[in-house]
Chains A and B, each alone.
Chain A
Amino acid sequence: MENILEVKNLCKKYNGFELQNINITLPKGMIMGFIGENGAGKTTTIKAILDIIKNYTGEIKIFGLDNKKYDKKIKEDIGVVLDDMFFPEILTPNDINTIMKDIYKNWDSKLYFKYLTDFSLPANKAIKTLSKGMRKKLEIATAISHHPKLLILDEPTAGLDPIARNEVIDIFQEFIQNEECSIFISSHITTDLEHIADYITFINNGKIILEKTREELLEDYGIVKCSKEDFEKIDKKDFIKYKKSKYEYEILVENRKAFNKKYDINTIDKITLEELMVLMIKGEK
């Protein structure tokens, strides 16, 4: 399968924080969810992929091309939403169209205005008068109106209400209908990713600690809830992490079915990404 994004041994040092040997592979036609708590290194990784930050080491290839050497060619085919609001707020959505049609070769004004209508965004109002959710929708509309092949989205659903989030997720699903297109999406709203991501990459403290398909994670992984007595019977190598709560132990296991066969403990549930994140970060071994 052709890879649309490849990151190899990406490292970047800041005072007090370090990205360490980040490796990411996103095949064509897939959605990768990039999860991790705030400050884990999601935005830094995205900024390195887009060559926004400097002095990082490692190799980054997009569409099989080096991200620095083929910067212009690559960026013609990428749609981007960054975590902060980035449009000058005195401009209007109409102005954004005027600007973008002279920046992207494939800018599609008709498609852009269709999205504005679909999202009920006013074309002539200054961006500063729009709500946070509306601004995010404008950024997403802008990111997809030049028919990109790859969307790189940093927390695109942050600050959106459930209805707006749903609308946005629908747009991403529509976008991915074209099998040439892929999405790399960072989020800490893990429920969104449970619906759409094919792959989940988990970053913690500047390191990738997990990279699995969604099926592997949600079907194979499990969360065992048991008493202290039961927990003490479990072999350490049969679980990844555990967390002690007031009344019970929560244990993260890699293979629910195998665990179930080995131990006589009935409360094994499928895991949610949120539970996975909490156990991976806060859990003990």
Chain B
Amino acid sequence: MLGFIKKDLLMIKSNLKIFAILLLIYIVMAFQGQMDLSFLLPFMSVMVMISTFSYDFYNKWDAYAISLPNGRKNSVKAKYLATIILIIATTIIITILSFTISYVKTKTIDFENIIPTMIGSLFATVLIQSFMYPANYKFGPEKARIVLITIVFSVAIIMGVVTTYVDLSPLIKILDSISAYWLIAIPISMILMLYVSYKISEKIYNKKEM
């Protein structure tokens, strides 16, 4: 198992330079107030992990992975564990950077804004990845991207229609009244999403002809 996780992390490491340069540009933009760093979290971790799917696909790694001990079982599990490691690492880095930028700019740390935005970004990251991974295993990275874009646009259109024609104030009131539970509900729902996504991916991978 560890070998498979290391493979994904080493692939990410090989592209680290590109991501470090991107991060640097965004830090400069954040200092100038043009960008909120917390939005980087979904963008970067999704991009980084999807690139590992692309390399696996184009280098036909999966057929070889299955010829290794416990390959079919561990390949998918390792991808999700590498994702969790990456999300934790990116969250820590982005949180520290956001706190630092906030402190340098205002001499105080804006916890009230940064933490909810971070949690929201984290949730969005897990949501996107939970959809993307089974799609990647099923259709390959090229088609999975189209699936993702379709999902995002469909959700945006549905949300747009709903917010225009439906009065959502009662729902917002309910959400406000349970806001104290969000701290528990959000992590649980993220774990649940990843778990369901993992189980679907595992099923797809087990049936897949390589």
A residues touching B (Cβ–Cβ < 8 Å)? 47, 50-55, 71-72, 75-76, 78, 80, 82, 84-91, 95, 98-105, 126, 152
Contact = CB atoms under 8 A, between A and B. Distances in A.
Which of A84, A85, A88, A100 gathers most chain B CB within 10 Å? A88
Interface of B: 1-4, 6-7, 10-11, 14-15, 52, 55-56, 59-61, 63-64, 66-72, 207-210
Which of B6, B68, B209 gathers most chain A CB within 10 Å? B68
A196 to B, nearest CB: 22
A50 B72 CA distance: 11
Contacts of B7: 88, 91, 95, 99
A91 B10 contact: yes
11 contacts: A47-B63, A50-B67, A52-B67, A53-B209, A86-B59, A86-B61, A86-B63, A88-B55, A88-B56, A90-B55, A102-B2
Nearest to A139: B64
Contacts of B4: 99, 103
Contacts of B67: 50, 52, 75, 78, 80, 82, 152
Interface SS of chain A: loop
B61 A87 contact: yes
A225 B196 CA distance: 68
Contact of A89 (B59, B64, B66, B72): B59
A71 B71 CA distance: 9
A75 B59 contact: no
Which of A72, A76, A99 gathers most chain B CB within 10 Å? A99
B11 A88 contact: yes
A248 B208 CA distance: 50
Given A99-B6, A100-B3, 18 more contacts: A52-B63, A52-B66, A53-B209, A54-B208, A55-B209, A71-B70, A75-B67, A75-B69, A84-B63, A85-B60, A86-B63, A88-B55, A89-B59, A90-B15, A99-B4, A104-B68, A105-B69, A126-B14
